[in-house]
Chains A and B, each alone.
Chain A
Amino acid sequence: MKANSYRYSLVLIFLLISLVFSTSAKAKIQVKDDSGQIVTLQQPARKVVSLSPGLTELIYSAGGSEYIKGVVRYSDYPEQAKTVPLIGSYNALDLEKILSLQPDLVVAWKSGNPKHQIEQLKKLGLTIYISEPKDFMDIPRTINALGELMGTETTSKINSDNFINEFNTLKEHSRNNINNSRRTFIQIWNNPVMSVNKDHLISKVITLCGGDNIFAAAKGLTSTPSIESILAQNPEVIIATGMADTSKIWLSRWQQWSFLNAVKNKQLYAVNPDHLVRHTPRILLGIKEVCQLLKSP
């Protein structure tokens, strides 16, 4: 009997010890990324490298302004991002440069970065968070995940909550405005004329604002519809997303077809693509702009 209780107390001590260890093991950070992998860090990331301009924005809004040590080309927002050392462009990374920064976290873009280079970075032993934002709510979710990885949850929580609140307000607002969904042609390129399908962020903004993308059902994310098919669809609104003044030139080509509803009713608009192509909080600006245009005339 005595020997037995002795044994029990041993077991108890063992359990206590393992409990202590398991709580200390819990101190490390574990976050699931968009490829389904668990990203594990022993301590908050202090040297972060961003592999897409959009992710750079998300790292900043997650509170990583001090920890971001390398960015890809065209990381132009916020203004500070322009002073961070470059590590190549999102579609051709300079692995050597990345490695010499000795980052403890690399934030990669699944569909944008070359697959073989991400494989190589993994092989070199770097910790990689793979991101693949597809919808509006992926923006606050990614901000929170990055905040957790960098130990900056307070900032990331504030910014992601702000985003969700503002987004919901805009959504409510646009819902009140929807009368009949206006058939919209989204022009993202001029030669050849290119458009996007329903999975593209721009198309989602159009839908949110009560528009109806005429090429929503197209097969690829981007497509090159024929002029004929655009004329046949007779859109009520045409939205061009060219850089700066190029949109005006793009839109002028439609003027020759005065039978188009969009031309008849002067519903040709140029929209700044900066606020519409990246999955970042700046999409709110794009939503505001587009919803303003799509309001019934």
Chain B
Amino acid sequence: MLKNHPYFFLFSLLFLVLISFLFALTTGSGQLPSQTLISLLDGTASPLFQSLVFELRLPRALAAFAAGALLSIAGVLMQVLLRNPLADPYVLGVSGGSALAALLAMLMGLNTLWLTGSAFLGALLSIFLVFSFSHSKGSWSISRLLLTGIILASGWGALISFVLVISPPEKIHGMLFWLMGDLSYDRPLLPSYIILLFGFLFSLSISRQLNILLWGDLQAGSLGIDIKRLRTYIFFISSLLTAGAITLAGSIGFVGLVIPHLIRLVIGADHRLLIPASALMGGALLIIADTLARTVLAPQQLPVGVLTALIGVPLFLYLLRRSQ
């Protein structure tokens, strides 16, 4: 039914995003009486409620939405690029390079801005390394790309373990939070949203070509698509999206792998729909997960990465079973 009414589906997802924003803004360990909600809108609420909602909850929800949307689009692209259902945004080692740089920044005790900057640079370095090693003269085969990425990812993994081992115990907790994905940082939002907007529009503009690429290289080639160039575009856009997400929230697992599959189960593999729907769904899931992460055990705080899978796995299994 949803397949025949794509716009209905997109609108319901948009509604879901709105609901999750409302959920995030009204839920927290600082109790907010419901009558103050209205006073928040006309600006007559007490300064405490103002800062609770607009300085703590809203930036976090916005960061969660951006990270979820970035990861979901990156996941869609990576799965097309590698023609592998197990591909996720981190499979080519982007997160590893970024995490290593971030952990080193934490080890040196740098502030949030430097931490964010080095995470982004680490991701770019990793992207550059994968591209230059896999992009040999002429051919650019998928297996070569995948192999390079996976090997590089294991290399980063080893270095990350090394940093964890040599780090003083009081810093390890923060590092583990970062590795699991953590939205408690007060990071600049604008760069991520620029990346999101750019990546979203660009992948939407090549969504027809993505559809054709699914049929195979031969068909796509015979339909006049420059496969090599398209692949290069997909590689860079998905990597950039991933870098944006990691910089914002650490390496949150699961979202980039499963959201695209989840949406495909519901509406099929047409990328014109799959891309916006995944972005909305991923964003909404991460907002809900992060709100739960900061409230379920409050005042104990959890890394959001723990919650994404806990919510996503049952949802995915349910949809998988129903689709049979």
Contact = CB atoms under 8 A, between A and B. Distances in A.
Interface of A: 73, 86-89, 91-97, 99-100, 102, 111-112, 114-117, 119-120, 123-125, 220-222
Contacts of B299: 86-89, 94, 97
B81 interface: no
Contacts of A112: 170
Nearest to B55: A124
Contacts of B169: 222
20 contacts: A73-B300, A86-B299, A88-B299, A88-B301, A92-B300, A92-B301, A94-B299, A94-B301, A95-B56, A96-B28, A96-B29, A96-B52, A96-B56, A97-B299, A100-B52, A112-B170, A116-B184, A116-B186, A119-B186, A222-B169
Given A96-B294, A100-B30, A116 B112 contact: yes
A116 B115 CA distance: 10
B307 to A, nearest CB: 14
Nearest to B169: A222
Nearest to B27: A96
Interface of B: 28-31, 48, 51-52, 55-57, 109, 111-112, 115, 166, 168-170, 173-174, 177, 184-186, 294, 298-301
B28 A116 contact: no
Given A91-B174, A116-B185, A124-B55, A221 B301 contact: no
A92 B48 contact: no
B238 to A, nearest CB: 28
B51 A99 contact: yes
A103 to B, nearest CB: 11
Contact of B186 (A94, A99, A111, A120): A120
Given A92-B173, A100-B52, A115-B109, 13 more contacts: A88-B300, A89-B299, A91-B170, A92-B301, A93-B301, A94-B300, A96-B30, A100-B29, A100-B48, A116-B111, A116-B115, A124-B56, A222-B168
A97 B30 contact: yes
A251 B272 CA distance: 66
The interface centre, meaning the residue of B170, B173, B294 with most chain A CB atoms within 10 A of its CB, is B170
Contacts of A73: 300
Contact of B173 (A91, A102, A220, A221): A91
Contacts of A94: 29, 294, 298-301
Given A99-B51, A119-B111, A124-B55, A221 B168 contact: yes
Contacts of A93: 301
Contacts of A115: 109, 111-112
A220 B169 CA distance: 10
A195 B116 CA distance: 33
Q: Which A-B residue pairs are the 4 nearest by beta carbons?
A: A100-B30, A94-B299, A92-B301, A91-B173
A97 B168 CA distance: 28
B141 to A, nearest CB: 42
A120 B168 CA distance: 23
Contacts of B185: 116
Nearest to A221: B168
A95 B169 CA distance: 23
Contacts of B301: 88-89, 92-94
A120 B94 CA distance: 28
A96 B26 CA distance: 12
Contacts of A87: 299
